[in-house]
Amino acid sequence: MKNEKLAVETLLPPRFLFQIGAYLQTCAHIELAICAVITCLEGCFPPDDNWLNKYSKNRKTSTSELIKKLRRTNKAKNNHGFAKDLEKLVDWIDRFVDNRHLAAHGAFFGSPEGFLRVDYLRNTGKKKSPNYEQTRTAITEAMVTEVLNDANDIYLVLLGMLEQIKPGLSTDVHRVIVPLVEHPVSAK
pLDDT at 77: 67
Predicted confidence band of residue 1 (pLDDT cuts 50, 70, 90): low
- Model pLDDT for residues 119-139, shown as the tens digit of each residue: 999 888 998 999 999 988 888
Residue 135, C-beta contacts closer than 8 angstroms, at least 6 positions apart:
102, 106, 118, 119, 120, 121, 122
Q: What percent of the chain has pLDDT over 70?
A: 95
- Model pLDDT for residues 64-116, shown as the tens digit of each residue: 899 999 988 866 667 888 888 888 889 988 888 888 989 999 999 988 777 88
Nearest CA-CA partner of 80 in 167, 20, 156? 167
What are the residue boundaries of the structural domains of the chain, listed by start?
A: 9-177
**Gyration radius of the chain's alpha carbons:** 19
- Model pLDDT for residues 33-73, shown as the tens digit of each residue: 999 999 999 999 998 999 999 999 999 999 889 999 998 88
pTM of the model: 0.88
AA identity, residue 36:
A
Query: Does residue 18 have a pLDDT over 80?
Result: yes
The residue ranking higher by pLDDT, 22 or 47, is 22
Query: Does residue 187 have a pLDDT over 80?
Result: no
Contact (Cβ atoms closer than 8 angstroms) between residue 167 and residue 45: no
35 burial type by CB count under 10 A (0-12 exposed, 13-18 middle, 19+ buried):
buried
Peptide bond into 47 cis (omega under 30): yes
Nearest CA-CA partner of 52 in 65, 38, 67, 39? 39
What is the rounded distance in angstroms from the CA atom of residue 12 to the CA atom of residue 7?
A: 10
Task: Share the mean pLDDT of the chain.
Answer: 89
